[in-house]
Amino acid sequence: MRTKEGLLEMSSHAAEVAGGERFEFGENWSRFLSTLDDGRIARAVESLREMLEVPDLDGKSFLDIGSGSGLFSLAARRLGARVHSLDYDPRSVACTTELRRRYFDGDARWTVEEGSALDEAYIRSLGRFDVVYSWGVLHHTGQMWRGLANAALPVAEGGRLFVAIYNDTGSQSERWKWIKKTYNRLPRPLRSPFALAVMAPEEGKALLRSLVRLRPSEYAARWTRYDQNRGMSRWHDIIDWVGGHPYEVARPEEIFEFYKSRGFTLTKLKCGGVGLGCNEFVFVKGAA
């Protein structure tokens, strides 16, 4: 059951979007669904297997905090888990519901609902899960540390917590916070051109490097083979990145110490060379 606090937070979503304080992740994900195919789904499944270091999730429960497009809820369900998906953005909930309809229509082992990662009472009400997953979500809540603390609550003893959080690069991160705020305050017709303009220098440098090496295919692969990265789409990830506000960051050691103090042990880490991107962490609750 959703608490009064949760309902108040849920109703604030439209106001935050209208005020230019929140990116409409669900709108972006709804466009991504048109690009989704079996290949992307298979790569999402493999990325879960790799990070969780399991062949499948048969007999396990999986909580997806901030399900977005629903791709990784779908991946977990295909691995055999009982899945509970939640998101603060109603259109993200609609995307996840659509994937459930397409691939597991009427399945009682996959629940989808609106819910806030910041509502502690609501998160506690969900019970315990073998895997709690929140990839690239909690730094967009506006209260990242509260969200990180809440994500630990439903992890069962011996269960895994898989989170991905933007890397703190100091002044560079501060500059991107300004860019993201600016994107969300622009009129809608100007947002895509703004995103292109912001990303043009990086794309230009990447193209130039590939031409200097006489390997133009390297640059082309940034677009044509991007779905090798967790089954995602480069253009939709660019829009997600440029517009993704609220925006918070953390150093890897901060995340490690935060969960260590809560009785979690780090079992897998991806943080090398991510730049402004996400550091990925898998913790086990209560592991020695």
Output the CA–CA distances (angstroms, integers) from residue 104 to 80, 82, 109, 232, in the order listed.
12, 12, 9, 21
Q: For residue 131, give the H/E element and its range.
A: strand 129-135
The CA-CA-CA angle for residues 20, 25, 29, to 5°, reads 145
User: Dihedral (C-alpha) 127, 161, 85, 92: value to the nearest 10 degrees?
Assistant: 140
Q: Which amino acid is at 248?
A: E
Before 246, cis peptide (omega within 30)?
A: yes
Domains and CATH numbers, the chain: 4-168+247-285 (3.40.50.150), 171-243 (no CATH)
Per-residue pLDDT of the chain (288 residues), as tens digits, is 344 444 445 457 777 666 666 666 666 667 777 778 898 899 999 999 999 999 999 999 999 999 998 999 999 999 999 999 999 989 899 999 999 999 999 999 999 999 999 999 999 999 999 999 999 999 999 999 999 999 999 999 999 999 999 999 999 999 989 998 898 889 988 988 998 888 887 777 777 877 777 777 775 666 555 444 554 566 777 887 788 788 999 999 999 999 999 999 999 999 877 788 899 999 999 865
